Structure 1
Amino acid sequence: MSSFEPPVKPRQLAFDLPVDARHGVEDFLVGPSNEQAYGLIESWPGWPASWLRLVGPEGAGKTHLAAIWAARAHAWTLPAAELDEAKVPHLASGGALVIEDCDRAPLDEPALFHLLNATKARGASVLLTARTEPGQWGLKVPDLLSRLRLAPQAEIAPPDDALLRALLVKLFVDRQLIVDTGTIEALALRMERSFAAARDLVDALDKLSLERGRRVTRAMATEVVASLFPDE
Structure 2
Amino acid sequence: MSPADLTARPRQLAFDLPVESRHGVEDFLVGPSNEQAYALVERWPAWPDAWLRLVGPEGAGKTHLAAIWATRSYAWTVPAREIGAAQVPHLVSGGALVVEDCDTGTLDEPALFHLLNAMKARGGHVLLTARTPPDRWGLTVPDLLSRLRLAPGAEIATPDDALLRALLVKLFVDRQLIVDTGTIEALALRMERSFAAARDLVDALDRLSLERGRRVTRAMAAEVVGSLDPAGD
Q: TM-score range by the shorter chain?
A: over 0.9
- Residue equivalent to 1:43: 43
1:171 maps to what in 2? 171
Are residues 139 and 230 of structure 1, via their aligned partners in 2, closer, same or farther at CA, if it must alter by over 3 Å? closer
Change in Cα spacing, 1:4 to 1:207, as seen in structure 2 (3 Å) is: closer
Q: Residue 140 of structure 1 aligns with which residue?
A: 140
Q: How many residues align?
A: 231
Secondary structure of the corresponding residue to residue 162 of structure 2: helix
What do residues 186-221 of structure 1 show as CA deviations (whole Å, max 9, x unaligned)? 000000000000000000000000010100000000
Q: Scaled by the length of structure 2, what TM-score is found?
A: 0.96
Could you state the TM-score of these two structures normalised by the residue count of structure 1?
0.97
Letter matched to residue 56 of structure 1: G
CA distance in 2, matches of 1:78, 1:192: 31
- Label 1:128 to 1:3 Cα distance change in 2 as closer, same or farther (>3 A): closer
The one-letter code sitting in structure 2 at the alignment partner of 1:6 is D
Alignment of 1:23-42 (within 5 A): 23-42=23-42
Deviation at 1:10, TM superposition (A): 2.5
Q: Residues 121-170 of structure 1: CA distance to partner in whole angstroms, max 9, x if unpaired?
A: 11110000000000001111111111111100111011000000000000
What do the CA deviations read for 1:55-114 (whole angstroms, capped 9, x no partner)?
A: 001000000000000001111111111111110011111111000000101111111011
Could you tell me how far 1:6 is from its partner in structure 2?
A: 3.4
Residue 207 of structure 1 aligns to which amino acid in structure 2?
A: R
- Residue aligned with 1:6, SS: helix
Deviations 1:9-35 (A, max 9, x none): 331111111110100000000000000
1:158 match: 158
Alpha carbons of 1:128 and 1:207: their partners in 2 closer, same or farther (altered >3 Å)?
same
Report the CA distance shift for 1:217/1:94 in structure 2 as closer, same or farther (over 3 A).
same
Q: What are the equivalent positions in structure 2 for 1:8-23 lying under 5 Å apart?
A: 8-23=8-23
Q: Which runs of 4+ in 1 moved over 3 A?
A: 2-6
Partner Cα distance (2:198, 2:45) in 1: 33
Aligned to 2:5: 6
SS at match of 1:116: helix
Secondary structure in structure 1 of the residue aligned to 2:5: coil
